[in-house]
Copies of this chain bind each other. A is one copy, B any other.
Amino acid sequence: MNEQELEKLAGLLKALGEYNRLSLVYNLCDCQAPKNAMCLCECCSIDASGVSRHLKVLAQEGVVLSERKGRETTYSLNRKEVAENLRALADKIDID
């Protein structure tokens, strides 16, 4: 694992390591179809602008995928990649 990769992984974990962002991720876990921001807003104690910013961070770090659909933006989890990264780290830490 080189420096860049480590930095990237740290970025992913940091993105996940904030309560409201992790709440958003958990919320997205359970839904099949992508959700828009208004909908995701409801699981958070913060206002829409905050949610927008958090989703932006999550998108930048590759946690979620966003797609503009008309006047709304829908978000979905980048499931495979995120899970893969987490499992790789788990394996590195503790090889069963």
A31 lies within 8 A of chain B by Cβ: no
Q: What is the CA–CA distance of A71 and B69 in the complex, to the nearest angstrom? A: 61
CB distance from A79 to the nearest CB of B (A): 4
Which residue from B18, B84, B93 sits with its C-beta under 8 Å from A10? Answer: B18
Q: What is the CA–CA distance of A10 and B29 in the complex, to the nearest angstrom? A: 16
Q: What is the CA–CA distance of A83 and B15 in the complex, to the nearest angstrom? A: 18
Q: What is the CA–CA distance of A19 and B79 in the complex, to the nearest angstrom? A: 23
A86 lies within 8 A of chain B by Cβ: yes
Q: What is the CA–CA distance of A19 and B78 in the complex, to the nearest angstrom? A: 23
The stretch of A1-9, A33-41, A46-54 that contacts the partner chain: A1-9
CB nearest neighbor in B for A86 = B90
